[in-house]
């Protein structure tokens, strides 16, 4: 977690990035079963894994809800 206090505009930017990443993740999971090419499936799965990691990292930047 970030040790420095974030400004409100920074928190809002992180929320916006999270929203976009999460929407892309949902779209990716919905589209994945439709992919027939094995090479493309592998790329899509790697992208989903990377997106999940990015979401996790972005969440760690947000201040705790106390």
State the pLDDT at residue 1: 46
pTM: 0.83
Any domain includes 43: yes
Does 8 reside within a domain?
Answer: no
Classify residue 28: in a domain, yes or no: yes
Q: Look at residues 52, 51, 28 and name the one whose alpha carbon lies nearest to residue 41.
A: 28
> Which residues of the chain carry a pLDDT beneath 50?
1-2, 66
Identify whether 10 is part of a domain: no
pLDDT at 54: 97
Residue 2 is assigned to a structural domain of this protein: no
Tell whether 7 is covered by a domain. Answer: no
Q: Looking at residue 65, what is its pLDDT? A: 60
Q: For residue 38, give its domain range.
A: 22-56
Q: Is residue 32 part of a domain?
A: yes
Q: What is the pLDDT of residue 5?
A: 86
Quote the number of domains for the chain.
1
């Amino acid at each position: 977690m970030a040790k420095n206090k974030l400004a409100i505009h920074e928190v809002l930017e992180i929320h916006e990035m999270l929203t976009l990443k999460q929407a892309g993740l949902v779209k990716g999971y919905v589209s994945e079963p439709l992919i027939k090419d094995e090479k493309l499936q592998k790329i899509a799965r790697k992208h989903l894994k990377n997106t999940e990691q990015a979401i996790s990292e972005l969440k760690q930047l947000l201040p705790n809800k106390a």
